[in-house]
Structure 1
Amino acid sequence: MASIARSTLLRQAATASRLSAARPLFQQQSLLQNTSRIAAFHASSRRNLLPPPAQVIQGGVNDAAPVPDPNPSHGSYHWTFERLVAAGIVPLTVAPFAAGSLNPTTDAILCALLLVHSHLGFQVLVTDYIPKKRFPGARKAFTWGLNAVTALVGLGLYEFETNDVGVTELVSKLWHA
């Protein structure tokens, strides 16, 4: 973007210098001052917020790509399970309010599905954006952190369901408030 702006400014300055023969001297100086100020703004150095990690090449060009071990929980079954969980949330969200009964069993199932759905979504984020090959320590730390947070949220939902009104009752009270 800065390179486009610089070439445009240089073109404008060249055009202005050609047209400046008919202008008074004080207008020429103000035009050149503004042009240099804008050009200096666009020519500022680029600062990276986070430096890139060390570039490490492992293996050669003719090495075969590693084939992962077959695991049914990380293939098409995993995707199907995620879709079933996501599709199961929809009727469980609507059913307590449409039927008019706030059953603790459907509330507990809804909370469990929401927890599993959230965990799977964040697990995909960790898998996609923290590659194991480049950041093995960070990947392990984020995976353990995600598991700990999921367990903590599960415990909190259990306590809220057993010792308080429950999620659907809370939503119902907030809706009518």
Structure 2
Amino acid sequence: MASIARQSPLLRQTCLSAFRSPFVGKNAAGVSQVVAFHASAKKQILPPLPLNDPAPIPKPHPSEGSYHWTFERLVSIGLIPVTIAPFAAGSLSPIMDAILCSLLVVHSHVGFQSSIIDYFPERRVPKTRTFLNWLLRGFTLTTALGLYEFETNDVGLTEGIRRIWKA
């Protein structure tokens, strides 16, 4: 406590400078100082992001942009009748099951891929994004193979759902 009392003029001036103007002040030794917690070019908490870099203009490609958005919506809209028809009409067609499984796999893949694109930007975490894209491809392939096996060697997706529903 005594050491604080000896340093009190300097401590008081340093503490008061935090409440004054954020410009330069003088301490007891007459040396210029900057207010506490002042962000300067030398001491930044986080590295700056490239704020003023121009956005690159991508080359048009059919699988990106508005074509991609339209494809996502068509798959989503196509899932509605294919999901309802087997249960409403009572028809159990292997072709209908194959279309349903295909649309489910594509819909899931596109949705998870959009999440990866949104939450893992390539310029900030390129290796993580690449890893997650390959992981998604692996899971998509595994899911497609599993549904194919279920369709060909078992009762099929719609009959399986019907049995679970009535159990």
TM-score (norm 2): 0.69
Alignment partner for residue 164 of structure 1, among 146, 154, 159? 154
Q: Which residue does 1:66 correspond to in 2?
A: 56
Q: Supply the AA of the counterpart residue of 1:83.
A: R
- Paired with 1:77 and 1:105, the residues of 2 have a C-alpha distance of 27
Alignment partner for residue 141 of structure 1, among 114, 131, 134? 131
In terms of fraction of residues, the more helix-rich structure is 1
- Paired with 2:152 and 2:47, the residues of 1 have a C-alpha distance of 51
Alignment partner for residue 67 of structure 2, among 63, 77, 87? 77
Q: Which residue does 2:88 correspond to in 1?
A: 98
The gaps in structure 1 that reach 5 residues or longer are 1-53
- Paired with 1:105 and 1:111, the residues of 2 have a C-alpha distance of 10
Q: Supply the AA of the counterpart residue of 1:120.
A: V
Offset at residue 65 of structure 1 (A): 2.2
Identity %: 57
- Paired with 2:143 and 2:55, the residues of 1 have a C-alpha distance of 39
Structure 1 consecutive aligned stretches of length 4 or more whose deviation exceeds 6 Å: none
- Paired with 1:150 and 1:167, the residues of 2 have a C-alpha distance of 17
Q: Which residue does 1:55 correspond to in 2?
A: 47
Offset at residue 107 of structure 1 (A): 0.5
Q: Supply the AA of the counterpart residue of 2:84.
A: V
Distance change in 2, residues 1:152/1:56 (3 Å): farther
- Paired with 1:56 and 1:140, the residues of 2 have a C-alpha distance of 24
Offset at residue 57 of structure 1 (A): 4.1
Q: Which has the higher contact order (CA 8 A, sep 6+)?
A: 1
Offset at residue 56 of structure 1 (A): 5.4
The gaps in structure 2 that reach 5 residues or longer are 1-45
